[in-house]
Amino acid sequence: MRWLVDGMNVIGSRPTGWWRDRPGAMRQLTSALEDFARASGEHVTVVFDGEPFELSSDAIEVRFASRRGADAADDDIAALARDDADGLTVVTSDSELARRVQAAGASSVGAGAFRRRLEG
């Protein structure tokens, strides 16, 4: 199984004060996804909105949206799903993005359910 994570959607699924330190929240999610990928052996890609900064990983693929503006990461995620939906599960609670990736043949799971999986 391959996972494609809508990073800011997962971060925003809990009111943890992430908006006070957006890069820190991105680093925390990346770390949790690395732990998940190592434990599961599954491929994980996370796509973040916003200004790119140094956020690399040897365990997962980290991407930033290819453009700025509304739905930038969503459009990239939908394009990745269209390119290769085989065995792909997209993590998002954005109903429109979920509809788009399902139309491409990928599965989707909500951010809350995936967070519980990360923490469990």
Q: Tens digits of per-residue pLDDT, 50-84?
A: 999 999 999 999 999 999 999 999 999 999 999 99
Q: What is the rounded average pLDDT for all residues in the chain?
A: 96
Contact of 77 with 47, CB cutoff 8 Å: yes
State the greatest distance between any 2 C-alpha atoms of the chain, in Å, as a whole number: 37
- 118 SS3 class: helix
CA 59 to chain centre: 14
Interatomic CA distance for residues 102 and 62, integer angstroms: 22
Give the pLDDT score at 72: 97
Contact of 13 with 112, CB cutoff 8 Å: yes
pLDDT band at 119 (very low <50, low <70, confident <90, very high): confident
pTM of the model: 0.97
Give the pLDDT score at 46: 98
Give the pLDDT score at 5: 98
Closest CA to 62 of 34, 84, 41: 34
User: Domains in the chain, start-ordered, CATH in brackets?
Assistant: 2-119 (3.40.50)
Q: Helix %, strand %, coil % for the chain, to 5?
A: 50, 20, 35
Cβ neighbours of residue 81 closer than 8 Å, sequence gap 6 or more? 4, 88, 90, 100, 101, 104, 105, 106
